[in-house]
């Protein structure tokens, strides 16, 4: 009886320690992913959190191509932590969808927001570039 009680207490202690360890690993992973997001956004003029196969992401990228701008693109589907990045972006900006576009450290929005900003000339202004007046309806 004493041996089975010890075994039970030992098992419970191992389970409790394992749970604490997993929580710590999860928290430190979240922290490092959050740090990656913050550093990426603050280190680049244009950042797009994207998925390589997403047509909306391609549409947002096309707006920058039209302006001869090269964004820093994080393809979430090509990263092991892509889902975690989306979770943290959801916590930061309230959206889990892609693309999510940042200009000069500030959130611009998704595909529709980016294309609208491009078509209105606001995107060029945010980027500090001059553009010729032309029809931007081809996106």
Q: What is the CATH number of the domain that holds 72?
A: 3.40.30.10
β-bridge pairing 46-50 and 72-75? parallel
pTM for the full predicted model: 0.75
pLDDT of residue 22: 37
Instruction: Judge whether 70 and 64 are in contact, CB under 8 Å.
Output: yes
Residue 116 has pLDDT above 50, yes or no: yes
Has residue 44 been placed in a domain? yes
Q: 52 pLDDT band (50/70/90 cuts)?
A: very high
Q: Where are the beta strands (DSSP E) in the chain?
A: 46-50, 72-75, 100-103, 106-109
Residue 133 has pLDDT above 80, yes or no: no
Segment 40-44 shows an average pLDDT of 98
Q: How many domains does the chain have?
A: 1
Instruction: Judge whether 115 and 74 are in contact, CB under 8 Å.
Output: no
Structural domain of 97: 33-127
């Amino acid at each position: 009886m004493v041996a089975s009680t010890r075994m039970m207490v030992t098992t419970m202690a191992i389970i409790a320690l394992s749970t604490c360890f997993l929580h710590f690993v999860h928290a430190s992973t979240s922290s490092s992913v959050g740090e990656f997001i913050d550093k990426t956004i603050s280190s680049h003029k244009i950042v797009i959190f994207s998925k390589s196969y997403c047509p909306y992401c391609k549409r947002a990228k096309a707006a920058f191509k039209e302006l001869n701008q090269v964004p820093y693109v994080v393809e979430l589907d090509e990263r092991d932590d892509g889902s975690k990045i989306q979770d943290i972006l959801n916590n930061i900006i309230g959206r889990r969808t892609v693309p999510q576009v940042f200009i000069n450290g500030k959130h611009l929005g998704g595909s529709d927001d980016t294309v609208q900003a491009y078509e209105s000339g606001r995107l060029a202004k945010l980027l500090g570039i001059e553009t010729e007046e032309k029809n931007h309806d081809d996106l």
